[in-house]
Amino acid sequence: MASSLLGIDFGFKRIGLATGQTITGSTSALNTLANERNNTNWSGLDKVIQEWRPDTFVLGLPVHKDGTDHDVTKAVRKFAVQLEERYGKPTHFQDERLSSNEAEGILQQQRASGARKKKVQKEDIDKLAAALILQRWLDANT
């Protein structure tokens, strides 16, 4: 059965978002929402979720290089519980190690080759990181 997915790269300053489909196994960077450390941007998420109507969330799980939790891991796990409670949809975790570095490298390479005209911004990195996280999950689970 086909499923619509929303990939999320959660951060205290920004939330990167991407969409994906299990039927095609593909993802697309969507946008980035401003966020605050102690006040999650639920209104922004509400709009995105109403528009895209995902069946499932895939949330990047930040961990150290050795796989152990760090400070942000606890906040992401709490956010996952809140997502499920608020929207009634399952949330899956995907290791997000180096996704932002990979996203930045891709965007810088596009800029250097002339395929990308505008300067690389943190918002661009966050939404592409969300797409990379979601693609990793799709590759491992479909």
Could you read off the pLDDT tens digit of each residue along the chain, which spans 142 residues? 559 999 999 999 999 999 999 999 999 999 999 999 889 999 999 999 999 999 999 999 999 888 888 888 999 999 999 999 999 999 999 999 888 888 888 888 887 888 778 888 899 999 999 999 999 999 999 8
Q: What is the pLDDT of residue 100?
A: 85
Distance of CA 107 to the CA centre of its chain: 16
Q: What is the pLDDT of residue 107?
A: 83
Q: Please report, for residues 14, 21, 51, 62, 112, the alpha-carbon distance to residue 4 in angstroms, rounded to integers and kept in the order given.
A: 22, 5, 12, 23, 33
The structural domains of the chain, ordered by start, are: 4-141 (3.30.420.140)
Contact 135, 96 (CB under 8 A): no
**E strand segments, 1-142:** 4-10, 14-21, 26-34, 56-61, 91-95
Q: What is the pLDDT of residue 71?
A: 83
Helix (H, G, I), strand (E, B), or coil: what is residue 109? helix
Q: What is the pLDDT of residue 113?
A: 84
Structure tokens at 1: 């059965």
Contact 34, 85 (CB under 8 A): no
Q: Which residue has the tokens 């499920």?
A: 84
Q: What is the pLDDT of residue 1?
A: 53
Q: What is the pLDDT of residue 38?
A: 85
Helix (H, G, I), strand (E, B), or coil: what is residue 118? coil
CA gap 31, 98 in Å, rounded:
19
Q: Which residue has the tokens 């619509």?
A: 4
